[in-house]
Structure 1
Amino acid sequence: MARILFVSHTPRGFGFGKVAAGIADALASRHVVRVLGLGPAMQPEGWTGESCDPLDIGCSSALRAALRTDGADLVLLVGVNVLSAWQASNLQSQK
C-alpha cells in the first residue's frame, strides 16, 4: 500500500480540485492518500492544506512541509502545467 500525496492547485469545488477529489477518492480504496489543496480555502471545504505566504510562489514551502511530514512514496500534482513543472523541478533540486 503506497502513501500518496495528491496536490491540487485549486479547492475541491473548482476545476483541478474536482479532478483531484475524484482521483484521490478512487486511489484511497487501495492506498493511503492525503490531498493537499494549495489554492485559497473555500467554505465549506473538506481539505484546504497548509496556509502559505502569498509571496511563496506555488506554495512550495507548504508542499515541502507536507512531504517532510508525510514521507509520501508518490506525489501527484494536478493543476496548471507550468506551475506543476516548476514545483516538481524545485522539489527534485532540494532532495
Structure 2
Amino acid sequence: MTKFFKIIATLEGLSLLLLFFVAMPMKYAYGNETLIRPAGMAHGVLFIGYIILAYLLKEEQNWSFKKFFIVAIASIIPFGTFYIEWKYLKDTQKN
C-alpha cells in the first residue's frame, strides 16, 4: 500500500502545483478560466484519496497521531507531499 500511497502523494502534489502556479494565475492574471475546473477537480479527487490512504497507512503501520497529522497537513502546502515522501516514507517497505 505504501507504493500506491507514494504514487497518489506525487500526483496530489503535482495537481496542487498545477492549480496554484498555472490554473489560478491564468484565471486571475489573464481572465482565462480554462484550466480551473479540470485542475480543481483532479486536485479534489486526489486530495480525498491522499487523506484516505494516509489514514489506512496510519492504521497499517501504527503511526502516531502526530505523524498522521503532519502527513495530512502536508497535502495543503505546496511541495508538502514531496517532503513527506522524502522524510517519512523513504525507509518504508514497498507494498
Structure number having the greater helix percentage: 2
Does the TM-score normalized on the shorter chain lie above 0.5? no
Tell me which structure has the larger Cα radius of gyration: 2
* TM-score of the pair, normalised by structure 2: 0.34
* TM-score of the pair, normalised by structure 1: 0.34
Structure number having the greater strand percentage: 1
- Of structures 1 and 2, the one scoring higher in RCO (CA 8 A, sep 6+) is 2
